[in-house]
Amino acid sequence: MSVDRITNVTTYIVVSGEDDHCIEIAKKRIEDAFSLPTVDQSPDPFLVHHIIAHESFLQSKAIITKLRHRLYDALDNVDAYGKGEKSLDRVALRALTNELHLISQDADSLVSSTEMGTMVVERMSAAHRKLMQESDAALKNAFSLVGDSLEQHVQTLHARRRWLLSYKSRKDIAMNLVFNLVTQQDSETNMSIAQATKNDSAAMKTIAALTMVFLPATAVSSFFGMAFFNGQGGSLTVTSNWWIFLAITIPMTLMLLLIWLRWTDILNVLEIIGRSTHAGWELVRLRSRLPDDGSDRTRVDSTSSGNSSLEKDVSKIV
């Protein structure tokens, strides 16, 4: 905007989108204002600022109203889950969480727009006050209406920012409630798993107790049922080869116990052997591709050192 005091002409440059109806409405309001028979001969230079700011404010009310309705719908769903009116559904809760995140992002965008609009209107109001200070008494009376309107816009934008921050606070409370509901559901699931594990443990204890009860009788009956013992004729006779049973059973039992005790070390040895075999094949492949000038000698030496380290690991475990 530029004001020429000599010619009493104010020039405005207004930029807007192609589909912005705010400008057309502002033009209509300006035409209506200048068509009035009681219009002042020296209109306020900030009249266009006031009209555009007011129309922009009215246009944004629909956006905030839509955001408020979305927030209230999400809060109603969260309250229904919290009161137990709806069963907890993880898919529905995930969708509700995404909706709350989108609401938060839209609220942040509106807060930023409100703060920017507040800054612009405050600067317009300050410039208007400076204009009134440099004007005579008659112009001050004519310009006071626009000045009061700009001050009202500033206060309204501050109130709108507080409302938007309140929406964000309510969204955060609802989000925390959703997280708590999901956490409670996970806790209930973990408790169910723990209870099932406890029941399985009790069943295993029962099986172990039954095994301990019947194992001695089974072992004794199997022992005396072997061919080394003969109970016919009313007397128990033992053959002279009974030591074969002990000679085979005792070493096998000790071998199985040793394998069980060293099972973890055996798995580690097998893993190291597998890595050593892979490194050995890699070494063979590199040597087959090695040129006569020995340009890849460093890589082959590093592979050989890797094989030696693997051999040291195997020797430590063994």
**Residue carrying the six token digits 């405005």:** 12
Q: Which residues contact 49 (CB under 8 A, 6 or more apart)?
A: 1, 124, 146, 150
Structure tokens at 176: 């925390």
Tell the residue number behind the tokens 């009161």, with chain if given: 83
Query: Judging by DSSP bridges, how do beta strands 229-230 and 237-238 pair with one another?
Result: antiparallel
pLDDT score at 38: 52
How high is the pLDDT of residue 162? 92
Question: What is the pLDDT, as a whole number, of residue 314?
Answer: 45
Cβ atoms < 10 Å from Cβ of 244 = 11
φ, ψ of residue 164 to 5 degrees: the values are -65, -40
- pTM for the model stands at 0.55
Long-range contacts of 90-95 (CB under 8 A, 24+ apart): 90/182, 90/185, 93/178, 93/181, 93/182
- pLDDT values of the chain reduced to their tens digit, one per residue, 318 residues: 676 767 767 777 777 767 777 777 777 877 777 776 554 556 677 777 788 788 888 888 888 899 999 999 988 888 888 887 888 777 888 888 888 889 989 989 999 988 988 898 888 888 888 888 877 777 777 778 888 888 888 898 899 899 999 988 988 888 888 888 888 888 888 888 988 888 888 888 888 888 888 887 887 777 777 777 776 666 777 777 778 778 888 888 888 888 888 888 888 888 888 888 877 787 777 777 655 555 455 544 555 555 555 455 545 444
Strand partners, 3: 10
Q: What is the predicted pLDDT for the residue at 238?
A: 75
What was the pLDDT predicted at 145? 81
Q: Which pLDDT score is estimated for 69?
A: 92
Structure-block tokens of residue 230: 């003969």
Burial code (b: 16+ CB inside 10 Å, e: under 16) for 40-66 equals eeebbbbbbbbbbbbbbbeebeeebee
